[in-house]
Amino acid sequence: MSVLAVLDPAVAAAHAVVSVLTHVLPAALAIVLFTVAVRLALHPLARAAARGEKARAVLAPKVAALNKKYENRPEKLREALAEMYRKEQVSPFAGCLPVLVQIPFFSVMYRLFTTPNDLLDHTLFGVPLGLHVSGAHGAGQFVVFGLLYAGMAAVGFVNFRRARRAAAAQPTPQPGAGLLPYLSFGSVLFALLVPVAAALYLLTTSVWSASERAWLYRGGAPVPVAALAG
């Protein structure tokens, strides 16, 4: 039995909601609207994660100074960092929990749009939602796949530029920071492995994530580089 089978009840509930929407809307539009509704419901968690990231960014210079001061005294460094976080009333893991809480929701969405079900029998401009690019034939089907991939690549490029700026703004270069921005294009590569329905979900959630981050980190606030890959 798959580990993801534990999500089956939630997947069934999500399937029921999308199925109801398909009675009044094209299935592709139902997927988009359902994805937006889920992301809207998760927005408070995204705001909490942003607050935690901003709090850690404000303390970054102090953390760097303590690392330098106690470079060869790890136990003293841990004590100093703990005292600093206590005084500032900020958790070193602030913002991480909201991100972790969102993972099961995204897993449900992924399972819904990749596991064979009747939703995948519908079409997007004549292309079955359950079709993989490896099974595409004819110019029309390749155009649909191309547009989906181009949309995700455009969003990835926006995230890539933002991640590059965020990495350049760090007071001290982080190991591997030069490679992290390229993770922004991960959704494009992943989309090559999933059917149209999942690719449409990825495009919708990627556009939402980019827009949400632009809003939450507006005004020159720091952007969490690792999160840009999502």
Output the pTM of the full model: 0.80
Structure tokens, 5: 């089978």
What pLDDT shows up at residue 123?
A: 95
What pLDDT shows up at residue 134?
A: 92
What pLDDT shows up at residue 67?
A: 85
In angstroms, the CA 229 to CA 44 distance is 20
- The backbone torsions φ and ψ at residue 124, rounded to the nearest 5 degrees and listed phi first, read -120, 110
**pLDDT tens readout for residues 151-188:** 999 999 998 888 787 767 665 555 555 677 778 888 89
Place of tokens 């020159």: 220
Q: Residue 195: CB partners within 8 Å, gap ≥ 6?
A: 113, 114, 120, 128, 129, 130, 131, 132
What does each of the 230 residues of the chain score in pLDDT, given as a tens digit? Answer: 455 678 889 999 999 999 999 999 999 999 999 999 999 998 988 888 788 777 777 787 888 888 888 888 888 888 888 888 888 777 766 666 666 777 888 889 888 998 889 999 999 999 999 999 999 999 999 999 999 999 999 999 998 888 787 767 665 555 555 677 778 888 899 899 999 999 999 999 999 999 998 888 876 544 443 333 34
* Type of residue numbered 35: T
What pLDDT shows up at residue 200?
A: 95
| Crossing angle for the helix pair 196-216 and 27-41, to the nearest 10 degrees | 40
CA 7 centroid distance within chain: 19
Judge whether 38 and 45 are in contact, CB under 8 Å: no
What pLDDT shows up at residue 81?
A: 84
What pLDDT shows up at residue 97?
A: 62
